[in-house]
Amino acid sequence: MTREEKALSLSHVVKAYRKYANQHRFLTLKSAFLNGALFREFQPEEVYLAVDDVSLEVEKGKTIGIIGENGSGKSTLMKMMAGIARPNRGTIDVNGRVSALIELGAGFHPEISGRENVYINGIILGLTKKEISARFDEIVRFAELEDFIDQPVKTYSSGMFMRLGFSVAINVNPDILLVDEVLSVGDASFVPKCLDKINEFKRLGKTIVFVSHDLETVTRICDEAVWMRKGHIVMKGYPKQIVDAYLQDVSEREEKKQRLRRQEIEEKIEEKASSPEQEEGERHRWGDMSVEILKVTLRDGKGNEKFIFHPEDSLTVEMEILAREEKEDFGFGIAVINGAGVTTYGTNTFLEEMKPLLLPAGNHKVSLTLPSVPLINGFYFIDAAVHSRDGAPYDYHHLLHQFRVDSLHKDVGHVRLDHSWSFGDGLRFKPQG
């Protein structure tokens, strides 16, 4: 790719920040020299690398999405592209006029009006006063601030800040537009306008670098995606491929956290089983333990232990139990409870009219399988129980077993019901993207 074809070129870029220890905040320069603290501040262990040896080329006319968890270096990288921050090492070559919407209201003076801020920011972005005047009405109209443009911006809501900042940024007619997550504070009617404008920029051959946690939007509008973690680029390429790899990594690390949590829970269960006296607020398990639930495991359709499920996944709740004596009166129950403590679903063998005959003494396994998990995004708990017909518990686990549902859908409520839409003649919707 020749320089003429590149909008941005980053080569081995490093951005480091000093870690300031609280105990050194009030040292005088003399005392810092005498005790060596000043020099310790420059040791490698006192430096945090926000961006570490990043090289990246962005082709003109392309829309690039940058994804990653908080603290991965995305915003720092964007600030260096915009010229707000300078790299400690490496080079950044920018080929064209840049307009950046990086920090909400950055460059706005709170005490003066929106009108005055438009002119100041326009000049900062390289326009003349005459050019700003020619575009002023369009800036205000797009921001939907006709009734507030002469009010001090300190009276603006965060959404109004974003609207004015975005409107100024796009109306300077940049070659390169940098957008960093600020659309997340926009209202429901304005964000689609912003995305429409971004699509218009794409059609005009503008270059866009887009940082967002909205992975669906990154997949939809970007030509390429970059995944950052701990200051490094992990992967770059086709957006769907990168987003899927990122989500897989997040899931695996979440699974690891949940596994550690499971170990802690099992240790607590053992402690509580050996010590029946419990504070009322700590009662997450009860029963006479004549039949004990030794372990509860959540598995996917392939039999793998899982903690994160998609709505289309199969979920099996597997209970390992120990009957200390033979039972003829017994039943098993499972409940799914959402993060607000509301029971989303529950069943037991008695409700399903399954008549118990015999539970021999010894170890057994009991499983309940859900062929899909049609729940909305969020964390959920499993209650597991073995009890008599009249409900007296032999062993009851309450809110001890957690899982998460990840869904691309944005439904509200508790469950996602199967559905379809149909519309009469002449009623149309604009397709997304």
What integer is the mean pLDDT of 244-272?
73
Instruction: Give the model's confidence band at 412: pLDDT under 50 very low, under 70 low, under 90 confident, else very high.
Output: confident
277: pLDDT strictly greater than 80: no
**Cβ pair 123, 129 in contact under 8 A:** yes
**Cβ pair 219, 240 in contact under 8 A:** yes
What integer is the mean pLDDT of 339-346?
88
Query: Taking the domains of the chain in order of start, what are their residue ranges?
Result: 282-405
Phi, psi of 131 (to 5 degrees): -65, -40
433: pLDDT strictly greater than 90: no
**Cβ pair 375, 416 in contact under 8 A:** yes
CA–CA gap between residue 227 and residue 72 (Å, rounded): 9
Q: Which pLDDT does position 31 carry in this prediction?
A: 57
Any idea what DSSP says for residue 184? Answer: G
CA–CA gap between residue 69 and residue 28 (Å, rounded): 38
Q: Which pLDDT does position 272 carry in this prediction?
A: 56
DSSP per-residue letters across 24-67? GTT--HHHHHHHTHHHHTTSGGGEEEEEEEEEEEEETT-EEEEE
Strands 362-370, 315-323: parallel, antiparallel or unpaired by DSSP?
antiparallel
What integer is the mean pLDDT of 401-415?
85
Q: What 3-state DSSP class applies to 277?
A: coil
- Cβ neighbourhood burial of 28 (10 Å; 0-12, 13-18, 19+): exposed
Instruction: Give the model's confidence band at 380: pLDDT under 50 very low, under 70 low, under 90 confident, else very high.
Output: very high
For the chain, the average pLDDT equals: 84
pLDDT, one tens digit per residue, over 312-337 is 999 999 999 999 999 999 999 999 99
Entry field: residues in the chain: 433
CA–CA gap between residue 316 and residue 112 (Å, rounded): 61
45: pLDDT strictly greater than 80: no
Least confident of 20-34, 50-64, 172-186: 20-34
C-alpha dihedral (231, 234, 238, 244), degrees to nearest 10: -110
40: pLDDT strictly greater than 60: no
Q: Which pLDDT does position 101 carry in this prediction?
A: 77
Q: Which pLDDT does position 32 carry in this prediction?
A: 55
Q: How much of the chain exceeds pLDDT 90, in percent?
A: 40
What integer is the mean pLDDT of 32-48?
58
38: pLDDT strictly greater than 50: no
CATH of domain 282-405: 2.70.50.60
Q: Which pLDDT does position 279 carry in this prediction?
A: 47
Strands 224-229, 232-237: parallel, antiparallel or unpaired by DSSP?
antiparallel
What integer is the mean pLDDT of 241-261?
80
Residue with tokens 């870029």: 13
CA–CA gap between residue 57 and residue 119 (Å, rounded): 33
- Of the candidates 256, 253, 322, the residue with the CA atom closest to the CA atom of residue 289: 322
* Structure token digits, residue 39: 């020099």
234-250 burial code (b ≥16 CB/10 A, e <16): bebeebeebbeebbebe
Q: Which pLDDT does position 93 carry in this prediction?
A: 93
Strands 89-94, 6-18: parallel, antiparallel or unpaired by DSSP?
antiparallel
pLDDT, one tens digit per residue, over 188-207 is 677 778 888 888 888 888 89
pLDDT, one tens digit per residue, over 107-145 is 678 889 999 999 988 888 778 899 999 999 999 998 889
The alpha carbon of residue 84 and the mean position of all alpha carbons in its chain are separated, in whole angstroms, by 26
Strands 331-338, 343-348: parallel, antiparallel or unpaired by DSSP?
antiparallel
| Residue 263: count of CB within 10 angstroms of its CB | 10
- Of the candidates 244, 255, 249, the residue with the CA atom closest to the CA atom of residue 403: 255
Q: Which pLDDT does position 359 carry in this prediction?
A: 95
| 3-state percent breakdown (helix, strand, coil) of the chain, nearest 5 | 30, 30, 35
Q: Which of the pair, 374 or 37, is modelled with greater confidence?
A: 374
* Structure token digits, residue 181: 């997550």
